[in-house]
Amino acid sequence: MRFRLAFAPAGWSSRGMEGSDDRQTACPPAEACGYALLAPIGSGAYGTVFLARKDGRWCAVKCVRRGEGADAADRFAREWRGVRTAAQMPRIEGLAAVRDVRMADDGASFFYAMDLADDEAGLPPAPATYRPRSLASVIDAEIALPLAECVDIGLRVAGALAALQRRHVVHRDIKPGNILFFGGKAVLADVGLLADVRETASVVGTPGYAPPEGAASAGGDVYSLGRTLWRISTGRPPADASLPPCAEAEVESPYFWQWLALLARATARDPALRPRSAKALLKDLRRLRRAMRLHRHRWLRWAAWAAAIAIAAPLLWTFPDFAIWRSQDDEYHYHQSPPRPWRWIKPFYAPREDPMEPGIFHFKIPKIPSYASSKPKTPKPKTPKPPKAPKTPASRKSRIPTNAPPEESPP
C-alpha cells in the first residue's frame, strides 16, 4: 500500500512504505504526548509523516529520527533547528504553524505536530482515503490555474516570506509540493528547512526551483517563488520555461503578459536584477492585483466621474450669481431668496454680525422655509382698503390743548 505525501521536503518519496517495520511506523515521543498515530502518509530521508488525532482533532505528526553517518546527523540537527525556529515565531498568515514539538529523552528522535491539510476529494479525513491537497496535485489535474488565483497564491506566500525575512529567516525550498491548502487557502509548509540567513551555510533545495547562485538568501526565496508561480500560471515545468504558455493558460487576460514580465524579473539569473526581498515582490503583486480589480470594475469608475460632473456642473454654472448675492449686505441678502440651485444652502447658512466677514455653515437642520416647500403657493386675492380720513397736521395738533373747550364758529 502506497501513501501520498502531506509534507514533501527535498528527498522525500512515497516509495519504501511497503513492508515498513515497527520502527518506521511508530513514534514514541508523540505517543507519549497523547497523539494517536493512525496511518503513515509519507516517508523520506528526513522521517515519517503520520495522520494522527488528539483530543478529537485531526493533525499531521512528523517523526524525525537520527540516522547513521555525518550527513544524517547534520540533517537531523538542521531539521531540529528549523522546527524550533518555527515554533518560537508568532502566528504568520500563509505559513504552516507548529502546534507541538518535543525531543525524545534519549535524543535519538523528535516530532512536531501541525494542522491537517485539506483532502483532495474534499472528504473528511480517513486513514484509508486521505490525500492532502497540495499545489502540485492541483496543477497535475488542471495544468494551469487562472491568473487571479495565481496572484492570490503569490500574495499569500510572498506575505509569509516577507514576515520571515523581517526576522532574518529564509525557507530555502519553495516549490508546488510544499504549498498546501488549509481551509481552501494556500499555505507554505515544510518549516523544518527554516534557517537564519546570517548563520546558515548549507545548500538545500529542489532542482529547477533552487536559485542558480546556490546560497541561501532572501533573493533565493524570491527566485524559487517566481519559478513556482511561473509553473502554475503557464503550465510549463522549469525545464520547459523557455516554451510559450500552454493552451490552458489564461493568455487572453490583458494583464497576463504584465504578470509574466513581473515573474521574469523575479527569476532573473543575476541576483542584482531581482526584487531585493519578498517585501518588494509583494508590492509588485499588490499593484498588479489593484490594477486587475480596477479593470474588472471599471464601470464604477466611469459612473463616479459622471456623478461628479453632474453635481459640479450646475454649481460652477451658478457660482458667479451666488458670489454677487453673497457680496451684498448680510441683513439684506439673508432674507432674500438665493439664486438657484443655491437655495438649499440657505437653511444651513448663518450670517455673522459683521457684514464684512463671511458667513458660517452649520449642520443643524432647521424648519423648512416656505420657499423650499414642495406645495405650490396659491396667491391670495387682494381686497381694496377703504380710504382713510385726512389727518390733522402735527403742528396744529400741538397748539390745541387737550382739555380746551371746542372753538365756537363765528356768527
Domain boundary, last residue among 252, 267, 296: 296
* Residues 210 and 267: beta-carbon distance below 8 Å: no
* Residues 219 and 269: beta-carbon distance below 8 Å: no
Greater confidence, 12 or 289? 289
Range of the domain at 255: 134-296
Residue 115 sits in a domain whose CATH number is 3.30.200.20
> Does 64 lie in the same domain as 208?
no
Domain boundary, last residue among 83, 105, 126: 126
Number of domains in the chain: 3
Task: Establish if 82 belongs to a structural domain.
Answer: yes
> Does 87 lie in the same domain as 175?
no
> Does 314 lie in the same domain as 232?
no
- Give residue 376's pLDDT band: very low, low, confident or very high (50, 70, 90): low
CA torsion 176→180→185→186, rounded to 10°?
A: -30
> Does 239 lie in the same domain as 213?
yes
Task: Establish if 46 belongs to a structural domain.
Answer: yes
Task: Establish if 176 belongs to a structural domain.
Answer: yes
* Residues 132 and 120: beta-carbon distance below 8 Å: yes
> Does 74 lie in the same domain as 101?
yes
- pLDDT at position 331 is 45
Domain boundary, last residue among 343, 364, 385: 364
Instruction: Examine the pLDDT at 173 and tell me if it is beyond 80.
Output: yes
> Does 312 lie in the same domain as 279?
no
Find cell 518560537 and name the residue. Answer: 88
Cα-based distances in Å from 237 to 5, 205, 209, 230, 258: 20, 16, 10, 8, 20
Residue-wise pLDDT for 225-250, tens only, equals: 999 999 999 999 988 888 999 999 99
Residue-wise pLDDT for 387-405, tens only, equals: 777 765 555 555 555 555 5
User: d(Cα 268, Cα 340) in Å, to the nearest integer?
Assistant: 64
- pLDDT at position 74 is 85
> Does 189 lie in the same domain as 169?
yes
Instruction: Examine the pLDDT at 3 and tell me if it is beyond 70.
Output: no
Task: Establish if 339 belongs to a structural domain.
Answer: yes
Instruction: Examine the pLDDT at 209 and tell me if it is beyond 90.
Output: yes
- pLDDT at position 73 is 85
